[in-house]
Amino acid sequence: MAKKGRVFSGARPTGRQHLGNYLGAVKNYVALQADYDCIYCVVDLHALTTLETTRDLKNNTYEMALDWLAAGIDPSQTIVFVQSHVPQVTELFTILSMVSPLGKLTDLPTFKDKVRENPNNVNLGLVGYPVLMAADIVLYKADWVPVGIDQQPHIEFTRETVRSFNYRYNCSVLKEPGMKVTEVPKVIGTDGQQKMSKSLNNQIELALTAEETQKVVMTMVTDPARIRRTDPGNPDVCNVFSMHKVFSSPEEIAMVNIECRRAGIGCVDCKKLLARNMNTHLAPLRERRAELAKRPDDIWDTLKDGANRARAIAEQTMSEVRAAVGLP
């Protein structure tokens, strides 16, 4: 069946994926394969902009790819690859740099955040991060980019860069991508407060065993106002309840919603139910993951094959770009 266009998305190699990554991105990546030609990229070069050490880069790339494939990203139809395996992106980055106003880059909220977080490591690569991202997207002439709303300034920047390039070189070689905002409930970590993230160590990894999942779920922070088992709770402010909404049946969600409010169910039982449902939901993924993990070389082969397919598209775009620019 003819697909509706090309999708490109990238994610930094953060290693084993957690529920936030899964519900926020990976699940959607998997779903998009039915209707679009998809290209998913592990953006290792982007990771270099903030990494203090590259010690875990290779392993994190592997673990992330493993989770993607286990989740159902299908390399027989989708291109899955590592950014640095297709170096054409760095050539396009250089060319796009010349049409990227510095003031615009330093004004981006994402850049300002990074400067605030790490004032001693404001490198050129960090300023150019959105240019590299634009290069990723336009190298493959993507029609759509599925990303979270936080990436909107980068997509807008990409669109402006395409217009600047095409105008400056009087051509229509590059394509303006559209943004597909991934609509997801904000996934809060086990602390019940902050967005789930590895750096905050409040994550629930997909690759945990059923027992480990249960253990972590039992540590989740619930409604802080509910101190004793006999206190009524408020599911509206409880992260365990938000997770029930994702993993439990409509009947169970309704039950928890009612029983928590009248102290009919305690947090311990509520969490046990959640852990059980999470485990049921993730069981097929975990089985596939365990199978795939038996042959690590096959994962790297899949990524190499993805890079070969990506490179063919990239080289085609670059020959058009070089000609449009007038490089001798």
Name which of 7 and 282 has its Cβ closer to ligand TRP: 7
Does residue 60 touch ligand TRP according to CB under 6 A? no
* Position of minimal CB gap to ligand TRP: 10
Q: Hey, how many other C-beta atoms are within 10 angstroms of the C-beta on 29? A: 22
Q: Which of 6, 10, 274, 299 binds ligand TRP (CB under 6 A)?
A: 10
- Report in angstroms how near the CB of residue 327 gets to ligand TRP at its nearest: 24
Q: Which of residues 151-170 bind ligand TRP (CB under 6 A)?
A: 151, 154
Could you tell me how many residues of this chain bind ligand TRP (CB under 6 A)? 14
User: Which x/- pattern, by CB under 6 A, does the window 77-116 give for ligand TRP?
Assistant: ----------------------------------------
CB of 305 to ligand TRP, least distance (A): 20
Does 136 bind ligand TRP (CB under 6 A)? Our answer is yes
Cβ atoms of 8 and 140 within 8 Å: the answer is yes
State how far the Cα of 83 lies from the Cα of 59, in Å rounded to an integer.
15
- What residues numbered 14-53 form the site for ligand TRP, per CB under 6 A? 43, 46
Name which position in 86, 96, 137, 240 contacts ligand TRP (CB under 6 A). 137
Amino acid letter, residue 4: K
Q: How far is the CB of 23 from ligand TRP (least distance, A)?
A: 15
DSSP letters along 38-102, please?
EEEEE-HHHHTTT-S--TTHHHHHHHHHHHHHHHT--TTTSEEEEGGGSTHHHHHHHHHHTTS-H
Nearer residue to ligand TRP within complex by CB, 88 or 151: 151
User: Does position 128 bind ligand TRP by CB under 6 A?
Assistant: no
CA 208/CA 200 separation, integer angstroms:
18
Euclidean distance between the first and final Cα of the chain, in Å?
41
CA distance 149 to 153: 9
Beta bridge partners of 147: 181
- Closest CB to ligand TRP among residues 70, 145: 145
Which amino acid would we find at residue 244? H
Q: Which tokens sit at 36? A: 């679009």
Q: Where on the chain is the footprint of ligand TRP (CB under 6 A)? A: 8-12, 43, 46, 133, 136-137, 145, 147, 151, 154
